[in-house]
Structure 1
């Protein structure tokens, strides 16, 4: 196959909120970007893949309040879970970061200082919901109510959560609004915020949308209609504490406000590359990728994020006017429904990324999600359909063909790919069709139609299976080994092709097959353009391979899922019990003020210090308490020399009962801070008379 010139790509996906574990619909965005990046790499392009956890914003704050922990703690709890899940799912990022890092914060503030200087922000006074019960302003997701368009109850203040609606909303548009935290009705209160002057970019955005081919056909008309109806200025700052401070951009008056989360999350596509370049000690890589107009940027998102990536993000790049290329492709997926219902953690509807890999290997899920990727309309997850696709496509078609081919060669041809003899008309036709399928696969991937690409791979394997069954080499080998050899040679060639085409979708399986075929180079070194139908692979030594997949039963996987959920619930109960026990012990260990008054704390000066022989820890001290002198034995020998202690003032518990340590009486105890086992002696801020009481 003919190679073409190398191109440069930045692939990214919508940054998942870290307010919970991602469900399959969210994880599909991360998986899609991985598949696209891997494809670009086997095509020989220069591609990096970046994203990260969206640690700021109201969803994180709301979830943190429900768990009773600070937003930062909750954000990094789920960020670390996502990092683990990425490994389990074999999703390979060049840089998966988070928005609460210095590189991102500095980049965002610097970016918007330029936009502000360019004159695209304006200050407006507005009325915003305020909760008198919680004593705070309520940004969008802190307000819930009934959608004015579809009358769905539980709509958020920024967007209707009904998949059939999804309208962008203002909190004040909700019917019967209430505070999401305390459920009380809010009041309107005046506040000042900065707004991005989006209407100024209507013409540029219209031209961009019309001229960009890789914007989903079902999204273009909606975005153009929004422009036709007239864009409105978008609020840029929020009355929140958790987020990127707005003060450095807009002045001290706004030091207690933060940036609207969408305004900083979309800039993560740039800052993540900058952070990676810094980590690589090659800061010039940032401009190499993001300041080159030829760089193609690809965004894998859900349909509810179209407005942010087709209108708002491009407008920001236009506003900063700093040489960044506009989006090349928006690869949008529709929603995955679960048995006709939207995913809901609280209602137990759906499947989450950690659950999926707990019950089946990641390759099953990667293949299924790409094969059924909802590119044009919402899809519906059903266990019966999932089992059918796994059993029919993965096991019976792809896995069966590859295993039959390799097993037959290792068993009947001494583990070497046999020579290719004279081809029949049907065999020539088969190889020609496979070549056409490879071109169709490339075309589908180039147009980000991942679902079509997965279907093409399955069809190639299906043709291979049909060919094997028709040629029946297990029979022909008895009469004509050369004919059987040709059958297996062609099958081995198709297996090689499958290994390459499957690598973006199920890389771990692909690499097993590649290794079994005896290739010394990595798949990435060979690439898709190394495929040559005429290269027969004859005499190439191969290795036996175990079955790649196994059939599944719907009842079995549902049972495994329920067992996993029960186990997690039990672990959660144990953690909650442990937390309650710890809190109870803390309460039990608390003393009242009268009890504390019984402890006599006094200032003393060390007048003598002597090491106790045969002890690694103990020093004998003589201390002056003002009205008397006492002997105290202290376990500080490993950290203080006796001569260093003489003359130092210390704090002593003066009314302890005497105790004997290695035969020496101790009449009191000195106080020390404990840092990882190292004692740090406490002393007054300035010299005071010995015997001075501590209150």
Structure 2
């Protein structure tokens, strides 16, 4: 079989979204649109692909939402499962199944994994101190407790993890804990849980990731995240929780305990594939993918899910494979994306900042959104969705470049060639160059998608449309139709066949529009490797053209922008009084010495002249400044901050700096050199 006809068996998953809120645009850019583009492309290639997703319906975020609304968790999951399923369908997601983790087959699958590990003695029961709310008469899951991080001082840290600095710690280390249910101070009470020995798998996981990276080229952001976890050393991780809502622990002495959501949610990919097998009346279908060593498994996620899909889930599969003959495959690649922000700020459901998918699709068709997001995916760093950019992409690229070329070509075909594909006559160099360009484009675009460079692939798609417009203009059919109609016929034939290829290569990104184009051409899709061939026979009748993209007027976008200030109310508890601000002592300081902190690529140790002496400050600016260029600079610092230790080095203040558009890059706040060290800001 030739290489271009070789078929792959491909299993693709997208992270299971929590069913406690609506899907927003940021979710689409992370785990869903890139996967859908990849899957659609692989199907066009003729590969054997299944695409799996579904709702994550257990865990504390669900119960918190239910508590707030004073309803059962089932009410919440039923509502948001259906809403998000509708949103994905309207957006054009091509899942083979959109399942849910509350169904019996998922509970059974999760319990089978737990029992396998328990029966083999892999899980270790440990007693530990957990927060307990006497007033609510319940143990408090991590998200039900809020307090001050013992590492960085973040006052909104969870009981076991700080989302701000990423530190993990024991609940007993959390300062000023408060129950989010009653507002009372919880007590520490002994309970017992079963733990998965993640540390036992560290060496194998490091080898696995290294091998996959060498063979298939993992993204650097994913590798760096994994290395950070390995550097700290993997530790035992609890797989049970004291909670009513979730998959029950399948042991007699485990009443009131469920399997921790981090353990069971990833198994939703397997249970969803089992459900798909049942629906298709193919009992072994799921095994043909999950337990077939020839399968290529790609897991699309956002960066907040990296650890679960590169470390925890592979470790669970390794453990299963150690004890069973029916062995699971591990992810071949985990192309995680960074975050998409909304108008330069993070999407926030609680603050109403952003726009959810259903709301968006009530105003605009899906393809312009798909194209805009795909052209600006946060593949290597966080990116932003701006209303003005959405308008510009729709009007300036989809309408003026792609849509305009198609409209001009069809107009000529109907006006001068009876709505039929005209014949090709003598070819000139300009024609041969265009034919050769079109011929090679599907392979060019496909190679980028294969390497998960979706944004680059989208750029190339539109580049072909630009080249097609240039060919049309340079060929001047409005002149040749009067002077040499045979010459004009050749131009329009090449343009129509180029439209066919454009419809093919754009299909993964704008599938609804591509279908319209194929309908206008009265043609069927071809396998991807044939897309660049000229398939439209002379004399073939075309269908009446339609406007593919409607331009968006300024007033429509301005109306959306005007809503932004209304949509982000500032909470009273986020405001500080003038008395609070007066407590902050901002002072001038001059850098005397600077050096890198060993074993850290972010930190610098600075010695500062503060007027009344010298002070040592550790600052996370190493990716923005070298030690040498800081010597002699006048900075503004917070001078009355309590000392803290970073990498074991005491820091006696904080440098003021601004974030920038570049990831991990900051701009320090410099002040005039005439200001003496120690002077205070007024």
Q: Are the aligned partners of 2:421 and 2:493 in contact in 1 as well (CA < 8 Å)?
A: yes
Question: Hey, what does 1:154 align to over in structure 2?
Answer: 156
Match of 2:118 among 116, 119, 143: 116
Measure how far apart 1:434 and its partner are. 3.2
Match of 1:41 among 43, 46, 49: 43
Match of 2:423 among 419, 436, 449: 419
Distance 2:280 2:469 in 1: 46
* 1:190-242 C-alpha deviation (Å, 9 max, x unpaired): 11011101111111101111011243222213313322331001110001000
Question: Hey, what does 2:145 align to over in structure 1?
Answer: 143
Question: Hey, what does 2:5 align to over in structure 1?
Answer: 4
Q: Are the aligned partners of 1:317 and 1:326 in contact in 2 as well (CA < 8 Å)?
A: yes
Measure how far apart 1:337 and its partner are. 1.1
Q: Are the aligned partners of 2:222 and 2:335 in contact in 1 as well (CA < 8 Å)?
A: no
Asked whether 1:382 is paired with 2:386, we answer yes
Q: Are the aligned partners of 2:441 and 2:532 in contact in 1 as well (CA < 8 Å)?
A: no
Question: Hey, what does 1:537 align to over in structure 2?
Answer: 537
Would the alpha carbon gap of residues 169 and 360 (structure 1) be closer, same or farther in structure 2, given more than 3 Å must change?
farther
5 Å matches for 1:432-471?
432-471=436-475
Question: Hey, what does 1:22 align to over in structure 2?
Answer: 23
Question: Hey, what does 1:676 align to over in structure 2?
Answer: none
Measure how far apart 1:138 and its partner are. 1.2
Measure how far apart 1:435 and its partner are. 3.3
Q: Are the aligned partners of 1:22 and 1:353 in contact in 2 as well (CA < 8 Å)?
A: yes
Q: Are the aligned partners of 2:161 and 2:168 in contact in 1 as well (CA < 8 Å)?
A: yes
Question: Hey, what does 1:262 align to over in structure 2?
Answer: 262
Instruction: Give the alignment's TM-score, normalised by structure 2.
Output: 0.78
Asked whether 1:292 is paired with 2:292, we answer yes
Instruction: Report the secondary structure of 2:67's partner residue.
Output: helix
Unaligned runs of 5+ in 1: 568-695
Q: Are the aligned partners of 1:123 and 1:193 in contact in 2 as well (CA < 8 Å)?
A: yes
Measure how far apart 1:499 and its partner are. 0.6
Question: Hey, what does 1:93 align to over in structure 2?
Answer: 95
Distance 2:293 2:373 in 1: 33
Q: Are the aligned partners of 1:166 and 1:304 in contact in 2 as well (CA < 8 Å)?
A: no
Question: Hey, what does 1:229 align to over in structure 2?
Answer: 232
5 Å matches for 1:197-208?
197-208=197-208
Measure how far apart 1:153 and its partner are. 4.2
Distance 2:242 2:126 in 1: 14
Match of 2:61 among 45, 59, 62: 59
Instruction: Report the secondary structure of 1:3's partner residue.
Output: helix
Measure how far apart 1:496 and its partner are. 0.5
* 1:89-133 C-alpha deviation (Å, 9 max, x unpaired): 121221111100011111111122112233321111111112233
Question: Hey, what does 1:314 align to over in structure 2?
Answer: 314
5 Å matches for 1:665-676?
none
Asked whether 1:368 is paired with 2:372, we answer yes
Question: Hey, what does 1:489 align to over in structure 2?
Answer: 493
Match of 2:518 among 510, 514, 528: 514
Distance 1:380 1:170 in 2: 36
Match of 1:430 among 420, 428, 434: 434
Measure how far apart 1:272 and its partner are. 0.6
Q: Are the aligned partners of 1:61 and 1:71 in contact in 2 as well (CA < 8 Å)?
A: yes
Measure how far apart 1:144 and its partner are. 2.4
Q: Are the aligned partners of 2:504 and 2:528 in contact in 1 as well (CA < 8 Å)?
A: yes
Would the alpha carbon gap of residues 510 and 84 (structure 1) be closer, same or farther in structure 2, given more than 3 Å must change?
same
Question: Hey, what does 2:222 align to over in structure 1?
Answer: 219
Unaligned runs of 5+ in 2: 568-682
Q: Are the aligned partners of 1:37 and 1:47 in contact in 2 as well (CA < 8 Å)?
A: yes
Instruction: Report the secondary structure of 1:359's partner residue.
Output: coil
> Cα RMSD (Å) of the superposition?
2.3
- In the alignment of these two chains, the number of paired residues is 558
Q: Could you tell which deviates more after superposition, 172-181 or 375-384?
A: 172-181
Q: Are the aligned partners of 2:343 and 2:385 in contact in 1 as well (CA < 8 Å)?
A: yes
Distance 2:423 2:173 in 1: 73
Question: Hey, what does 2:190 align to over in structure 1?
Answer: 190
Distance 1:52 1:387 in 2: 31
The structure with the largest alpha-carbon Rg is: 1
Question: Hey, what does 2:272 align to over in structure 1?
Answer: 272
Distance 1:484 1:170 in 2: 76
* 1:376-397 C-alpha deviation (Å, 9 max, x unpaired): 0000122122211222221111
Distance 2:187 2:161 in 1: 20
Question: Hey, what does 1:684 align to over in structure 2?
Answer: none
Instruction: Give the alignment's TM-score, normalised by structure 1.
Output: 0.77
Instruction: Report the secondary structure of 2:335's partner residue.
Output: strand
Distance 1:436 1:68 in 2: 59
Instruction: Report the secondary structure of 1:545's partner residue.
Output: coil
* 1:503-531 C-alpha deviation (Å, 9 max, x unpaired): 11111110110111121x3x2xx221222
Would the alpha carbon gap of residues 456 and 171 (structure 1) be closer, same or farther in structure 2, given more than 3 Å must change?
farther
Measure how far apart 1:167 and its partner are. 5.5
Would the alpha carbon gap of residues 497 and 76 (structure 1) be closer, same or farther in structure 2, given more than 3 Å must change?
same
Match of 1:327 among 325, 331, 344: 331
Question: Hey, what does 1:503 align to over in structure 2?
Answer: 507
Q: Could you tell which deviates more after superposition, 473-482 or 28-37?
A: 28-37
Measure how far apart 1:436 and its partner are. 3.4
